[in-house]
Copies of this chain bind each other. A is one copy, B any other.
Amino acid sequence: MFTSTTQIRIHYALTDQMGVVYHGRYAEFFEIGRSEAIRNLGFTYKDIEAMGVVMAVVEMNIRYLRPIRYDDLITVKTSLPHLPADHKIVFHSEIYNEEDQLLSKGTVTLYFLEAKSMKKINMPTPLVNLLEGYY
Query: Which A positions have Cβ atoms within 8 angstroms of B?
Result: 9, 11-13, 15-20, 22-28, 31-32, 35, 44-46, 54, 56-64, 67, 70-71
Contact = CB atoms under 8 A, between A and B. Distances in A.
Closest 8 CB pairs of A and B: A24-B27, A15-B17, A23-B57, A46-B71, A17-B19, A13-B28, A61-B61, A60-B62
A16 B23 contact: no
Contacts of A46: 70-71
B35 A13 contact: no
Given A18-B56, A54-B18, A11 B25 contact: no
Given A12-B22, A17-B17, A56-B64, 11 more contacts: A13-B31, A15-B16, A15-B17, A22-B27, A24-B26, A24-B27, A35-B71, A46-B71, A58-B63, A58-B64, A60-B64
Contacts of A45: 12, 71
Contacts of A12: 16-17, 22, 31, 35, 45
A59 B62 contact: yes
A24 B15 contact: no
Nearest to A111: B64
